[in-house]
């Protein structure tokens, strides 16, 4: 299945296994690479000395034998104390794909483009997309309503066509509430070049989270999801569990 995203990255299917703090792991990345999609993990999941460097080297080896690829998610904010160190390790190891979240992606774009890696920026509105476009990003991750974790304010039916209209030459990946082939087809029909899927993969065999967590992903529907700003200060979609009710709702 060819789109400009698969052509830019050399992968078989226009799907990103989305970066998830404390969830994304090496087995999930290997599975993504083996299947022909793009596995992306937050560098913050690898905080011990030498861990990130060694993992990237192993993933490069795995990528060379398979049809998918991998990338990293960098929180490009001064509040991330490991940002500079992690960016250096990623650039030294020539990570092929980046997703930036929060602050300015300027340094990541400059560093990644020095060796032809691609940088996609998380955006939830036109203002931030404008800044990323000016800095020369290769694509947008359009984080819309319904995304697991931090979500955007706009429905994909509005956000994707608006981004396409304002920035016709920049590919848009849809993120938020996508878990099926129907969902992927709908996003492509709206003008997306691919999709980024997070929550669904939490229930995968490879994810090293508790069975309770996996079962609650499988057994929850839209009426079990609630949005709160009390977790991190920005709107965040979570499962409405007794723990969530007590602490954040
Ligand atoms: C448990 C969890 C952790 C997440 N952690 C991160 C993260 O560290 N960095 C990031 O950019 N996005 C993070 N996200 C957002 C995902 O990358 C992605 O945008 C989102 O999962 C897409 O929506 P979906 O979960 O409905 O598929 C996280 C999402 C979840 C569910």
19 lines ligand 1 (CB under 6 A): yes
pLDDT averaged per 10 residues, the chain (length 249): 94 98 97 98 95 98 96 89 94 98 93 97 96 97 92 95 98 96 97 98 97 95 92 89 89
> In testing the pocket of ligand 1, which one of 19, 102, 141, 232 has its CB within 8 Å of the most ligand atoms?
19
Tokens of 201: 């993969």
| The pLDDT value given to residue 234 | 85
**How far, rounded to the nearest angstrom, does the alpha carbon of residue 141 sit from its chain's CA centroid?**
7
Span from the CA of 69 to the centroid of ligand 1 (angstroms): 18
Tokens of 33: 């690479």
Please name the residue ranges forming H helices in 14-153.
26-35, 51-64, 83-92, 106-113, 126-134
Phi, psi (degrees; rounded to nearest 5) at 120: -110, 140
14 lines ligand 1 (CB under 6 A): no
11 lines ligand 1 (CB under 6 A): no
Residue ID of nearest Cα to ligand 1 atom 28: 20
Span from the CA of 159 to the centroid of ligand 1 (angstroms): 18
42 lines ligand 1 (CB under 6 A): yes
Q: Rounded to an integer, what distance in angstroms lies between the CA atom of residue 174 and that of residue 122?
A: 10
Q: What is the pTM of this model?
A: 0.96
Span from the CA of 150 to the centroid of ligand 1 (angstroms): 7
Closest-lying ligand 1 atom to the alpha carbon of residue 199? 25
Element (H, E) at 236: strand 236-239
Closest-lying ligand 1 atom to the alpha carbon of residue 99? 11
| The pLDDT value given to residue 16 | 98
> In testing the pocket of ligand 1, which one of 71, 147, 236 has its CB within 8 Å of the most ligand atoms?
147
24 lines ligand 1 (CB under 6 A): no
List the domain boundaries for the chain: 4-209, 222-249
147 lines ligand 1 (CB under 6 A): yes
| The pLDDT value given to residue 202 | 97
Q: Rounded to an integer, what distance in angstroms lies between the CA atom of residue 17 and that of residue 70?
A: 9
Span from the CA of 51 to the centroid of ligand 1 (angstroms): 22
23 lines ligand 1 (CB under 6 A): yes
| The pLDDT value given to residue 231 | 85
Element (H, E) at 74: strand 69-75
| The pLDDT value given to residue 79 | 84
Could you please state the CATH topology (level 3) that the domain comprising 4-209 is classified under: TIM Barrel (3.20.20)
């Amino acid at each position: 299945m060819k789109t400009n995203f698969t052509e830019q990255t050399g992968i078989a299917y226009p799907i990103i296994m989305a970066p998830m703090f404390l969830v994304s792991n090496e087995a999930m990345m290997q599975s993504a690479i083996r299947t022909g999609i793009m596995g992306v993990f937050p560098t913050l999941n690898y905080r011990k000395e030498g861990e990130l460097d060694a993992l990237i080297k192993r993933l490069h080896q795995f990528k060379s034998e398979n049809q998918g690829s991998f990338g990293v998610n960098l929180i490009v904010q001064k509040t991330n104390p490991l940002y500079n160190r992690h960016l250096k390790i990623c650039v030294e190891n020539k990570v092929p794909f980046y997703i930036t979240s929060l602050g300015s992606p300027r340094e990541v774009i400059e560093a990644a483009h020095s060796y032809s890696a691609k940088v996609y920026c998380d955006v939830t509105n036109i203002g931030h997309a404008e800044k990323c476009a000016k800095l020369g990003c290769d694509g947008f991750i359009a984080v819309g309503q319904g995304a697991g974790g931090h979500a955007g304010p706009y429905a994909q039916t509005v956000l994707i066509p608006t981004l396409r209209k304002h920035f016709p030459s920049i590919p848009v990946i849809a993120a938020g509430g996508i878990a099926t082939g129907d969902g992927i087809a709908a996003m492509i029909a709206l003008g997306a070049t691919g999709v980024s899927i997070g929550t669904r993969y939490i229930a995968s065999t490879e994810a090293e989270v508790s069975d309770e967590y996996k079962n609650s992903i499988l057994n929850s529907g839209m009426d079990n999801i609630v949005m709160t700003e009390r977790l991190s200060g920005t709107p965040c979609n979570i499962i409405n569990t007794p723990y969530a009710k007590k602490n954040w709702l």
